[in-house]
């Protein structure tokens, strides 16, 4: 009967349609993923030869002496010291190579290796940084942030299946191996160098870079949708130290030499970047980092504390004359004043970095376009870069710094009061809650914890002694 036949045909068609829909639903993310993966690989296949072709054809800079630890001073200018001994030998070849690379950026015809409109957080955290990162991610989620996180690892040797396939996805984070993109021997890109490449190959168009030990106190999504980020596409935070790039660097990169008072060195454990506006910055920063350990790290830093990728991003932006916002409020050390009998000892445990939106507002609202710091406003704390110690009990966390001069367990973050006020809540307590939770849920799971025993008990004991709290309920 034609009627029944039509029904059968219609049913078959419906089944076919549903199967197709099902197929599309389940295939599309994979397809997109593999396309993105191909685009990343293509980008690398175009970029890698350029990085190699425009390698400086000269010996590495030789430092005589060191810029040392000079505090940044925004008022009194100091002369820019030059410690490069073989200046005459390297200036022209490095400039020629730099010119060549910058020129090649205009013709680079690479595909977009990111997904338009996406926002997220990028980090790198192999080995002993992985447990620290998991604590940080627990704290990120406590701010109610839903931003996805991409965790870059150098290669297979850093891949921890349990963490990458179970623990991190539950925190909306996933692992990406740099070696799977470059498909070549990437031992050349390691340590600090990884950051520029991780940002370059991340999925996100606009992103926050976060060091594994850098704890957000509020949902960072806000920073990606407001000024000064939306108006510049690049926001950096200051270090304690003055910018000690060698004068010769500014000749090499053909840009005016900035006054020492104009901005501090960068503390690049926190960075906001938009690839829509700053892809060239990122590519030039990748160049500086690829040739960093030999050439650009000594040139940009000259022996000041913390040589590495830190100053490559801002200098890349200024070399290309692209806009940026460098947060003005300096970082503030937090720690404890240990007092016993007549002795007092300061202990640094980390530092606070402020809300760039509030920093921008405070420094804009002053009369005559002058800084508004005199108005007595202090931007709120937004991050605690908790590096000394990191909240990783498998590392140095359960060490001497947890005890006061009297030998008893003590709080870490009690000084200075102003900084604690700008944090606005008992962040140390919250951090310990998550540290206990991570240590007790994943004891024995992280590769770097395999030889440690009693981590859970150790952090629990400190928690009980200092916070006198009820036992933390361990989630997972």
Ligand X SMILES: *[C@@H]1O[C@H](CO)[C@@H](O)[C@H](O)[C@H]1NC(C)=O
Where on the chain is the footprint of ligand X (CB under 6 A)?
Answer: 143-144, 185, 187, 447-448, 450-451
Measured CA to CA, the distance from residue 208 to residue 222 in angstroms comes to 11
Nearest distance, CB of residue 192 and ligand X, angstroms: 18
* Distance of alpha carbon 101 from alpha carbon 107, whole angstroms: 10
Q: Shortest approach of ligand X to residue 427 CB, angstroms?
A: 12
Q: Which is nearer to ligand X, 135 or 273 (CB)?
A: 135
Three-class SS of residue 440? helix
Q: Could you tell me the smallest distance in angstroms from the CB atom of residue 219 to ligand X?
A: 7
- d(CA 307, CA 299) in angstroms, rounded, equals 10
Considering the complex, state which of residue 284 and residue 352 has its C-beta at the smaller distance from ligand X: 352
Q: What are 28's two structure tokens?
A: 């599309």
Strand 234-242 and strand 264-274: pairing? antiparallel
Token pair belonging to 426: 């008992």
Q: What DSSP assignment string belongs to 9-65?
A: HHHHHHHHHHHHHHHHHHHHHHHHHHHHHHHHHHHHHHHHHHHHHTS-SSPPP-BSS
CA distance 212 to 163: 15
Output 276 or 450, the one with its CB closest to ligand X.
450
Q: Provide the token pair at 337.
A: 């004043």
Question: In this complex, which beta carbon is closest to ligand X, that of residue 7 or of residue 184?
Answer: 184
In this structure, the strands spanning 343-354 and 381-385 are antiparallel
The residue among 53 and 450 lying less far from ligand X, judged by its C-beta, is 450
Closest separation in Å from C-beta 52 to ligand X: 13
| Least spacing, CB of residue 333 vs ligand X, in Å | 25
Minimum CB separation of residue 38 from ligand X in Å reads 23
Minimum distance between the CB of residue 104 and ligand X, rounded to whole angstroms? 24
Least distance (Å) between residue 161 CB and ligand X: 16
Distances (CA, A) of 22 to 18, 19, 122: 6, 5, 32
Backbone dihedral region for residue 119 (phi beyond 0: left; psi -120 to 50: alpha; all else: beta): beta
Cα–Cα distance between 268 and 312 in angstroms, integer?
9
Q: Could you give the CA distance from residue 95 to residue 349 in angstroms, rounded to a whole number? A: 41
Nearer to ligand X, 322 or 423 (CB): 423
Nearer to ligand X, 219 or 333 (CB): 219
Question: Cα–Cα distances in Å, from 165 out to 14, 153, 161, 175, 212?
Answer: 36, 14, 6, 8, 18
Tell me whether residue 197 or residue 324 sits nearer to ligand X (CB atom).
197
Instruction: Compute the least distance from the CB of residue 385 to ligand X, in Å.
Output: 20
Min CB(78)–ligand X separation in Å: 40
Our CB check for ligand X shows the closer of 91 and 155 to be 155
- Burial of residue 182 (CB within 10 Å: 0-12, 13-18, 19+) is buried
**Residue keyed to tokens 């939306």:** 230
Cβ contact 356:260 at 8 Å: no
d(C-alpha 356, C-alpha 327), whole Å: 6
* Nearer Cβ to ligand X (107/451): 451
Block residue for tokens 């690829």? 290
């Amino acid at each position: 009967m034609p009627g029944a036949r039509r029904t059968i045909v219609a049913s078959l068609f419906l089944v076919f349609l549903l199967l197709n829909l099902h197929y599309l639903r389940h295939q599309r993310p994979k397809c997109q993923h593999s396309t993105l993966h191909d685009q990343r690989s293509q980008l690398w296949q175009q970029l890698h030869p350029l990085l190699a072709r425009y390698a400086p054809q000269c010996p590495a800079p030789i430092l005589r002496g060191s810029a040392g630890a000079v505090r940044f001073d925004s008022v009194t200018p100091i002369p820019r010291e030059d410690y490069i001994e073989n200046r005459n030998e390297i200036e022209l070849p490095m400039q020629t190579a730099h010119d060549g690379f910058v020129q090649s950026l205009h013709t680079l015809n690479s595909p977009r290796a990111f997904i338009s409109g996406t926002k997220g957080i990028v980090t790198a955290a192999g080995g002993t940084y992985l447990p620290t990162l998991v604590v940080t991610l627990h704290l990120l989620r406590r701010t109610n942030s839903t931003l996805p996180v991409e965790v870059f690892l150098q290669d297979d040797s850093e891949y921890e299946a349990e963490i990458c396939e179970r623990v991190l996805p539950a925190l909306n984070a996933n692992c990406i191996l740099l070696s799977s993109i470059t498909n070549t021997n990437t031992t050349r890109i390691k340590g600090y160098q990884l950051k520029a490449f991780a940002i370059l190959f991340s999925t996100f168009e606009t992103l926050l870079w976060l060091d594994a030990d850098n704890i957000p106190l509020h949902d960072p999504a806000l920073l990606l949708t407001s000024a000064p980020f939306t108006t510049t596409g690049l926001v950096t935070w200051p270090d304690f130290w003055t910018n000690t790039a060698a004068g010769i660097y500014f000749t090499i990169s053909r840009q005016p030499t900035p006054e020492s008072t104009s901005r501090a060195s960068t503390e690049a454990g926190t960075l906001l970047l938009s690839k829509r506006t700053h892809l060239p910055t990122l590519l030039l920063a990748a160049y500086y980092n690829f040739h960093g350990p030999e050439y650009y790290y000594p040139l940009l830093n000259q022996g000041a504390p913390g040589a590495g990728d830190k100053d490559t991003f801002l200098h890349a932006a200024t070399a290309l004359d692209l806009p940026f916002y460098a947060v003005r409020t300096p970082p503030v050390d937090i720690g404890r004043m240990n007092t016993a009998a007549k002795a007092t000892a300061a202990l640094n445990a980390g530092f606070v970095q402020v809300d760039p939106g509030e920093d921008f507002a405070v420094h804009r609202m002053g009369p005559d376009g002058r800084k508004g710091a005199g108005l007595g406003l202090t931007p709120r704390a937004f991050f605690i870069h908790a590096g000394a110690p990191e909240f990783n009990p498998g590392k140095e966390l359960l060490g001497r710094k947890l005890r006061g001069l009297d030998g008893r367990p003590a709080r870490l973050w009690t000084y200075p009061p102003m900084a604690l006020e700008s944090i606005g809540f008992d962040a140390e307590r919250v951090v310990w809650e998550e540290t206990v939770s991570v240590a007790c849920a994943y004891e024995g799971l992280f590769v770097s914890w395999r030889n440690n025993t009693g981590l859970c008990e150790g952090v629990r004991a400190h928690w009980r002694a200092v916070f006198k709290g009820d036992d933390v309920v361990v989630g997972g």
